[in-house]
Amino acid sequence: MEDDNEVIEVPEAPPPPPPVDPAVLAEAEAAKDEANKNFKAKHFAAAIEGYSRAIELNPNNAIYYANRAAAHIKLENYGAAVVDAEKATEIDPKYIKGYYRRGDAHFALGKYKLAVKDLRTAAKVAPRDPDLRRKLSECEKEVKRLRFEEALAVPDSEAVSVLETLDLSIYDNIEESYTGPRMQGNAAEGYVLTLEFVTAMLEEFRQQRTIHKRFAFEIIRQAHALFRSLPSLVDVVIPDDKHFTVCGDVHGQFFDLLNIWKINGMPSTDNPYLFNGDFVDRGSFSCEVIFALLAFKLLYPDHLHLTRGNHESKSMNKVYGFDGEVKAKYNGTMVDCFRELFCGLPLAACLNGRVLVLHGGLFSQEGVTLEDIRRIDRFREPPEDGIMCDALWADPSPMPGRTPSKRGVGLSFGSDVTRRFLEANGLELIVRSHEVKEEGYEVEHEGRLITVFSAPNYCDQMGNKGAFVRFNGNDMVPHFTTFAAVPHPDVRPMAYANSYLMGM
């Protein structure tokens, strides 16, 4: 923990670089200006390409690196943003945007102590900057919160299950004023989820109303018990005459989730789905999304599948909005219940023994088998390395082999890694999610790997399409459907997130 009275020294400026041809400088500035236009138009990948071109022409301009760091942050490439921001501060130690960007990236990665250090360094240069002071204050609050939680933490062996000890009787007396849907049964004999209840619940959510806490907790408790019975890798059989749909990140965009079901049909025994993680956070209708998915999982346990994403975790939910949303719409106890529930989610699914579906990607170690994935003890928060971490965080790369992750967590893996993994495990294809794609999907690694992302116009700012992938059991050939965002009520994304993120 940093000393609150730590003296922050601004590094000395390096010696000036050799002069660059004025024509080359002008070309670099033109590339930067074009990148700025793409950034403002929210074409962040194109902006990164433009800033990279400017850097190739003039590698000694701190602004280019800081701007590229900002574009990386928009695409959640926080590791790459840290590297660029560090280069900006190396070139110009008094360029505060370099410290800003690095602080933003560290904060997004949950490295609050490092973020505080960056922001304090920036404050030495610009002590009266109001945005900087706000960010520093928020970051220091997170450091204090972590310190408090660490002081109260108990060993995992002594931790008590909230769901197993939860007394739902305090919610049994349902107020007469409650006009929403009710489950069949009663507290004494047990509650049963029905399609009628789920249909009515979806309509309540459309109208921006919640369901009663008694039924909300019941859904969580029943779903948790179901997940506990499942392996870490679920085998899914798709008959020759049936189809199966895989969706990627939904991220709390409930009205876009409803649109998927409008386009492709509601989940049922004849219309099975797999949702591949990141159900919550960022979008401000995450409660509605997760309750809808859990309810259909309970209705059709063998035909609605859910795999865990990196945002089904304590560290992400605290920062990116889910915790705040649950507390606002229900209560704090439910936050703890969701944490236990998320730790029960399977990590992957294998479709007809031919297609592996997991949220992130492949692994930092060679020789991982499907049996290794089955044996993972997943009932915990995601670790910082290993098979479970990679399954939730890894990304494909155009470069061969294994390289550091642009996110700062997990790794990037090349097409050779994908090919060897598939061949060793008798598989044909990997379907993963985890990354925004402008068309909602992308086919990479010589056709062996698909990324599918199902949150169109992500966070109301990316302008991307959403997509889902449909397989027919007889041939397991992927068929793609893309779709645009639909209107939603006037609640901005990240409405419940940490206020620090509003300035990123």
Active site residues: 311
Cβ atoms of residues 74 and 41 within 8 Å:
no
Round to whole Å and give the CA distance between 80 and 153: 32
Q: Evaluate whether 27 touches 50 at the Cβ level (below 8 Å).
A: no
- Whole-number CA gyration radius for the chain: 24
Could you give the 3-state DSSP secondary structure of residue 221? helix
Cα 135 to Cα 498: distance, rounded to the nearest angstrom:
11
* Region label for 181, one of left (φ > 0), alpha (ψ between -120 and 50) or beta (otherwise): beta
Nearest Cα neighbor of 407 from 345, 496, 341, 316 is: 316
DSSP class of residue 268 equals B
Give the angle subtended at the CA of 219 by the CAs of 214 and 220, to the nearest 5°.
100
Strands 233-236 and 348-351: parallel
* Strand, coil or helix: 372: helix
| DSSP state letters, 478-491 | EEEEEE------S-
Q: How many CB atoms lie within 10 A of CB 65?
A: 29
Return the biggest CA–CA distance within the chain.
Answer: 82
The angle subtended at Cα 365 by Cα 360 and Cα 369, nearest 5°, is 75
3-state percent helix, strand, coil for the chain, nearest multiple of 5: 45, 15, 40
Judge whether 102 and 85 are in contact, CB under 8 Å: yes
- Torsions phi, psi of 339, nearest 5? -60, -45
230: number of CA atoms within 13 Å, CB side?
28
Amino acid, res. 302 = D
Name the amino acid, one letter, at 416: D
Are the C-beta atoms of residues 296 and 304 closer than 8 Å to each other? yes
The alpha carbon of residue 349 and the mean position of all alpha carbons in its chain are separated, in whole angstroms, by: 18
HSE of 385, CA atoms in CB hemisphere, 13 A: 3
